[in-house]
Amino acid sequence: ETGVTQSPTHLIKTRGQQVTLRCSSQSGHNTVSWYQQALGQGPQFIFQYYREEENGRGNFPPRFSGLQFPNYSSELNVNALELDDSALYLCASSLALVTGTDTQYFGPGTRLTVL
């Protein structure tokens, strides 16, 4: 069984640029969630995708956007990068159930540095 994978592992960008991060979900999972983890902090929920539709969003501006593809992989796009966007971006996959979303399993993350 393949776990959650993310690419790239590290990325350096400058202010104002745009970035795309990618995530492949665990086999059998249909839901992908994205989190931002600033240094020394707990992860903060950005948004979740279920069957290619956004299914909940945290307190992040519209310049954070995403996609989910038919194979349930996902992208996180961030436009007009700011210094405060420097963080570890974590993707988590899960299986949505009738009774709610099951346990989320995390990938290794993408470390984004904005200069």
Partner 1 sequence: GDSVTQMEGPVTLSEEAFLTINCTYTATGYPSLFWYVQYPGEGLQLLLKATKADDKGSNKGFEATYRKETTSFHLEKGSVQVSDSAVYFCALSDRGAQKLVFGQGTRLTINP
Residues at the interface with partner 1 (CB under 8 A) = 4, 6, 33, 35, 40-45, 48, 55-56, 58, 90, 92, 99-101, 103-109
For tokens 């299986």, name the residue: 95
- CB closer to partner 1 out of 20 and 55: 55
Strand partners, 106: 92
- CB closer to partner 1 out of 32 and 114: 32
Min CB(106)–partner 1 separation in Å: 4
Min CB(108)–partner 1 separation in Å: 4
